[in-house]
Structure 1
């Protein structure tokens, strides 16, 4: 017998308040072809049958591909210690640390994570993360809007286009003006960005390395931003920060990153980790949780939520965030990963990734018709132009077990032949050689 919580009279009263005549009217926006055809569910299966069915479905996934796909998400090696430690029940099932007296372990882990990412990015403050790199960029943008009371955002076209789509979605109804400065053959147009900054600018958004893999020093650009009293925001790649000039050294106000490359598997698109750091002058605009270390009345070390400018704690209109899901487990994985590798291990992973990318670039550009698009210094990712549409090459090689990269034509008009290629420390020279020979054959 079904459980029906409302009487017919109650249903009629609610519909009258809403202003519709029937329950069916509530779903008028859903077209007929999109509505469920039936709610007649199949009969249940035994545990053995369910397991066999799921295993057969999982077996259809291609898990043996060699991938040169990056575009913001990278297949770095994850030490076994990361799973061993973070899968412990104390961490894996830990709830949001609202009560510090019952959450000292979780709070300490978050505090250590904040310390690690501020050191990595050369910044002063960090929060306990947001959802992913794109969300972090949006939240940084809103920090700038609140701080400056301005609505104009200068964006480099060499910023990850996936993030730019996210920014457009998040701000669609927020009366924010975006001024996009085009890239120059894959390079960030620093002079163009400088010229675009004016006294109406709330924030400048750039990426290092940029989406095409090109490395930049934004120190002068951030100085120009500061002179206009605008907020400088940079999206960074955490692994390469062990080798590059940090956002803090460049003078950035806010530095964000996608933390997936620090101990999080690619899986099927998540869950990921939005790293957020900033200078002390921006910290009161920062969303999420910030954990601090203090001492109690007996001089014992304790950890607390220092800033909680969320809608659950203060007036809704004054809140800087409505982020409610607990990202602490993802942050913990990043922390354990960084600690397991240490400074030398992180640098080695970054250095090997860069070396492999340069070897790959040499092998690919030795093929007739393949030219470098990325000019100047690049990290573990670079772009090339092919003599054919990149989608064609990707289809041919993927069918043979090699994913050659990301098609730039998906987001950049005029770059239909452009291919973005990434390497990590897991990319062997043998795989690079096979990739080059396969691409050479596909282009004939």
Structure 2
């Protein structure tokens, strides 16, 4: 039985309140050609449960899953080994069913987990504080830009050409509703990050400059130099980290002058999961704490002097008036934050450094083998576990042919930057601790065959 609590009069009153004539007016931002005018053509009206299950299973069987083939995809989502203990612990009832800790007296476990998670993220990022997680990395990036605008009272943001284009799209989409001025620098397929272009774009109206570290092509920008230039103009440096394992080897952004550090926590504890749910990380300087979005858990003592945990700051619209909120994204990905925290606890500081070292070594082995193939060269001067190969032909075609040969051989820059100039031969390749010598050799042999076939 359907539950329809609103009457036609209710709907008319609600539409009148927001200034819309019809419900269709709420969808004006969706192109008319993309709207359904009726049932989807070719889709059967109904089928039995067993028939649908068989059909969906057959479709799923056409996929090449991450664990069934040599896997070299990255570009913001990375395949790492997640210990079985992580999945075991997050499925315990007290964690799996826990929700927002509105009542601290009955939510001490949830609050403690979030407090420890915050501590881990702050130490990882080199920031004074971190919040109790965000929805994902891309929305955390946008929240950082909003925060920088509140802190500086400016509305102009500069996005590095090395920022993941999907993050840039999220920022530009959200900025349509805030009238923020977003300056997106072009992506260039060059050996080193174009720090000079980023610095040149900062002026007296800039609220923040957003730089990815390592960037989307695997390069490592000079954060200290960019931070100095930004601060000289009264702007903030926002750093985006899509591969937090890299911070086991390279310096933390906060130590290099970043004011706000955001990122995607998927690499640690969460897994690929067909694209989500993922986990947004957010850290900043302590002096900006009251402008930080999300929530902050704190440690205190109760009336008997016993250690306890509370929500110290809650600046989301769930807790306070909408116009006072620093964020209207309510999801804090608590279960994914727990998975991240468990995995990072199991690793410890030394374990994370060792894991990062293995990742870099696996990437070195991968690129050493692939660049022995005629016509293939490495663009990067430096990288962590991901870098850009330059191929003798369009990388999009190569990726498709490799997939037909059961090798998931990276992400083409032409796919990430469809409008980008001079990027179509770039192939972004990632290797992690899950990459074996057999995977590398299979990739190399199939890539060689694909390239030779095209030249024959």
Same fold (TM > 0.5): yes
Match for residue 379 of structure 2?
373
Shifted more, 354-363 versus 73-82: the winner is 354-363
Q: Contact between 1:158 and 1:207, CA under 8 Å: does it hold in 2?
A: yes
Match for residue 258 of structure 2?
252
Give the Cα separation in 2 of the matches to 1:406 and 1:154.
25
Match for residue 422 of structure 2?
414
Match for residue 155 of structure 1?
159
Cα deviation for residue 41 of structure 1 reads 5.8
Give the Cα separation in 2 of the matches to 1:328 and 1:349.
24
Cα deviation for residue 13 of structure 1 reads 6.5
Cα deviation for residue 422 of structure 1 reads 0.3
SS in 2 for 1:178: strand
Match for residue 393 of structure 1?
398
Alignment of 1:28-427 (within 5 A): 34-37=36-39, 42=46, 45=49, 55-63=57-65, 64-184=68-188, 185-236=190-241, 237-374=243-380, 376-410=381-415, 411=417, 412-427=420-435
Cα deviation for residue 229 of structure 1 reads 1.5
Cα deviation for residue 5 of structure 1 reads 5.9
Cα deviation for residue 323 of structure 1 reads 2.1
Cα deviation for residue 350 of structure 1 reads 1.1
1:12-42 Cα deviation digits (max 9, x unpaired): 9659958999889999996798233399963
Unaligned runs of 5+ in 2: none
1:363-387 Cα deviation digits (max 9, x unpaired): 111111112222x211100101111
Q: Contact between 1:217 and 1:245, CA under 8 Å: does it hold in 2?
A: no
Give the Cα separation in 2 of the matches to 1:22 and 1:196.
44
Q: Contact between 2:240 and 2:261, CA under 8 Å: does it hold in 1?
A: yes
Aligned length, in residue pairs: 440
Cα deviation for residue 55 of structure 1 reads 4.6
1:157-213 Cα deviation digits (max 9, x unpaired): 011111111111111232222223345515322222222222111001101111111
Give me the TM-score of the superposition, normalised by structure 1: 0.91
Give the Cα separation in 2 of the matches to 1:391 and 1:408.
8
Give the Cα separation in 2 of the matches to 1:32 and 1:359.
45
Give the Cα separation in 1 of the matches to 2:16 and 2:393.
60
1:107-131 Cα deviation digits (max 9, x unpaired): 0000000011111111110011111
Cα deviation for residue 65 of structure 1 reads 2.6
Q: Contact between 2:239 and 2:262, CA under 8 Å: does it hold in 1?
A: yes
Give the Cα separation in 2 of the matches to 1:441 and 1:379.
27
Give the Cα separation in 1 of the matches to 2:246 and 2:95.
28
Q: Contact between 2:213 and 2:221, CA under 8 Å: does it hold in 1?
A: yes
SS in 1 for 2:274: coil
Unaligned runs of 5+ in 1: none
Q: Contact between 2:129 and 2:285, CA under 8 Å: does it hold in 1?
A: yes
SS in 1 for 2:272: coil
Give the Cα separation in 2 of the matches to 1:195 and 1:15.
48
Distance 1:14 1:230, change over 3 A: closer
Shifted more, 421-430 versus 308-317: the winner is 308-317
Cα deviation for residue 227 of structure 1 reads 2.0
